[in-house]
């Protein structure tokens, strides 16, 4: 009698798979925060990990993004959901989402979140810190830095600059910088530029510093509108759902884009020739989408939230991103409040359009870190510590 012998010794590939597979929870809140964890989620799915996404929105609120294979790294979200490799847990209440993950953290090998220093997330990071990895979100960790969080969660900083600022302002020591999955995602989101100037609406904290700012902004908008008409450019306003100041006046925009959809504003930025904003953290997005910009009212930015816990971080951000050498007139420039009533913004706009760029040099100087393949390095870290 003959028979075929089957070895019971696992292959190297099987051993590697068994070692590397982990059960992951990703927790964010609104649609705009998906871009922070997007590349990390897709990297984890590509590695065969079982992932659960906790958030306050449903897949259809992502627009057509989830069908764009170039951005999802080849992952078909519908397939991942149908095979239950990806579970999508939704609630309209952020506090409930945090509570659910907090109560069920033991079901996961690791938890990937955002907003480490935000008080509303404190319960999660203090209870499950030993398995938590928080991806730095915009400027939030710099604004919210504190020394009272009792957690062993690891904060994965976007840049060496932000890591240094947080280290200086807070005694929280569990920081690392392996590059930014967010910046990695943005670098893959670049698109063809159009004859399009985008203006970001001012937020309430800026407007509260005086109605004269709105007068200056109205003058600037009219000047840019005239320039766009003369030079065959479209002028688009990007608003924010959470801010409600009435500043439009008689200004005429060719389109208005909200931030309700997860990625509509990214598409807008990436197709713009120049973006004009009020010292927005969008400078992160614009730098890695390679879009030049002008920061308005940088003299006001450093006075925001005086006396509050945010103020030390605001001053550090002012020093590095809203004043001084970063305004090179090639990739980025600034205008103080009185200058909105002059011809200077138009002069700076034209210089940004005509200047030869070196985005890699600008990124290395002000947003340094090894961002290419950052999600892969972070996935390696999570596997090594939790598999």
Q: Is the dihedral of CA 284, 186, 61, 97 positive or negative?
A: negative
Per DSSP, the chain holds a count of helices (H) and strands (E) of 17, 13
CA 227/CA 83 separation, integer angstroms: 53
Contacts of the segment 232-235: beta carbons below 8 A, 24+ positions apart = 232/195, 233/195, 233/196, 233/197, 233/273, 234/194, 234/195, 234/196, 234/197, 235/196, 235/197, 235/199
Strands (E) located in the chain? 23-27, 50-55, 86-90, 110-113, 132-135, 154-156, 175-176, 196-200, 234-238, 255-257, 274-277, 293-296, 332-335
Pair of tokens at residue 55: 């958030």
Pair of tokens at residue 351: 């210089």
Determine the pLDDT at residue 330: 98
Torsion of CA 309, 314, 317, 318, to 10 degrees: -150
Check if CATH label 3.40.50.11860 holds for domain 17-180+370-386.
no
Pair of tokens at residue 381: 């870290």
Q: Count other C-beta atoms under 10 Å from residue 356's C-beta.
A: 5
Which residues of the chain does CATH 3.40.50.2000 include? 17-180+370-386, 196-366
pLDDT tens digits in sequence order for the chain, 387 residues long: 333 333 344 444 443 444 458 999 999 999 989 999 999 999 999 999 999 999 999 988 887 777 777 778 888 888 899 999 999 999 999 999 999 999 999 999 999 999 999 999 999 999 999 999 999 999 999 999 877 889 999 999 999 999 999 999 999 999 999 999 999 999 999 888 999 999 998 877 777 766 678 788 889 999 999 999 999 999 999 987 666 555 555 678 999 888 777 788 999 999 999 999 999 999 999 999 999 999 999 998 888 777 778 889 999 999 999 999 999 999 999 999 999 999 999 999 999 999 999 999 999 999 999 999 999 999 999 999 997
Determine the pLDDT at residue 12: 41
Determine the pLDDT at residue 263: 85
Residue of 347, 348, 341 lying closest to 212 (CA atoms): 341
According to CATH, the topology of domain 196-366 is Rossmann fold (3.40.50)
- Which residues lie across from 238 on neighbouring strands? 200, 257
Sorted by sequence, the CB contacts under 8 Å of residue 12 that are 6+ apart come out as none
CA angle 252, 255, 259 (to 5 degrees): 125
CA distances from residue 280 to 221, 264, 317, 338, 364 in whole angstroms, order as listed = 17, 17, 11, 19, 20
pTM summary value = 0.91
CA angle 339, 344, 346 (to 5 degrees): 125
Strands (E) located in 10-163? 23-27, 50-55, 86-90, 110-113, 132-135, 154-156
Q: Count other C-beta atoms under 10 Å from residue 176's C-beta.
A: 13
Pair of tokens at residue 321: 């991103």
- Which residues lie across from 39 on neighbouring strands? none
Determine the pLDDT at residue 9: 43
CA 362/CA 159 separation, integer angstroms: 13
Question: What does the radius of gyration of the chain's CA atoms come to, in whole angstroms?
Answer: 23
CA 310/CA 308 separation, integer angstroms: 5
Burial 77-92 (b: 16+ CB within 10 A, else e): beebeeeeebeeeeee
């Amino acid at each position: 009698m003959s028979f075929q012998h089957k070895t019971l010794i696992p292959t190297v590939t099987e051993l590697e798979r068994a070692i590397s597979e982990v059960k992951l929870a990703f927790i964010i809140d609104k649609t705009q925060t998906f871009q922070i964890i997007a590349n990390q989620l897709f990297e984890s799915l590509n590695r065969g990990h079982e992932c659960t996404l906790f958030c306050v929105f449903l897949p259809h609120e992502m627009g057509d993004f989830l069908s764009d294979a170039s951005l999802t790294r080849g992952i078909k979200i519908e397939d991942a959901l149908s095979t239950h490799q990806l579970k999508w847990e939704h609630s309209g209440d952020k506090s409930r989402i945090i509570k659910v993950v907090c109560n069920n953290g033991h079901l996961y090998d690791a938890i990937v979140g955002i907003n480490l220093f935000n008080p509303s997330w404190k319960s999660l990071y203090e209870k499950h810190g030993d398995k938590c990895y928080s991806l730095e979100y915009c400027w939030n960790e710099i604004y919210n830095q504190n020394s009272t969080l009792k957690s062993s969660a690891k904060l994965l900083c976007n840049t060496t600059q932000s890591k240094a600022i947080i280290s200086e302002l807070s005694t929280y020591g569990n920081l690392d910088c392996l590059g930014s999955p967010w910046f990695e995602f943005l670098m893959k989101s670049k698109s063809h530029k159009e004859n399009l100037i985008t203006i970001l609406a001012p937020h309430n904290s800026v407007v509260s510093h005086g109605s004269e700012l709105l007068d200056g902004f109205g003058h600037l908008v009219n000047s840019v509108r005239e320039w766009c008409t003369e030079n065959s450019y479209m002028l688009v306003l990007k608003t924010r759902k959470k801010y409600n100041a009435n500043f439009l006046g008689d200004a005429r925009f060719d389109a208005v884009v909200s931030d309700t959809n997860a990625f509509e504003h990214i598409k807008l930025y990436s197709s713009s020739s120049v973006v004009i904003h009020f010292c927005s953290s969008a400078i992160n997005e614009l730098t890695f989408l390679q879009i030049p910009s002008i920061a308005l009212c940088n003299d006001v930015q450093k006075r925001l939230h005086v006396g509050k816990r945010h103020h030390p971080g605001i001053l550090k951000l002012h020093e590095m991103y809203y004043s001084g050498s970063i305004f090179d007139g090639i990739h980025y420039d600034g205008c103080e409040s009185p200058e909105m009533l002059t011809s200077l913004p138009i002069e700076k706009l034209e210089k940004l359009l005509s200047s030869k760029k070196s985005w890699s040099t600008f990124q290395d100087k002000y947003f340094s870190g090894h961002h290419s393949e950052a999600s892969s390095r972070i996935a390696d870290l999570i596997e090594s510590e939790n598999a």
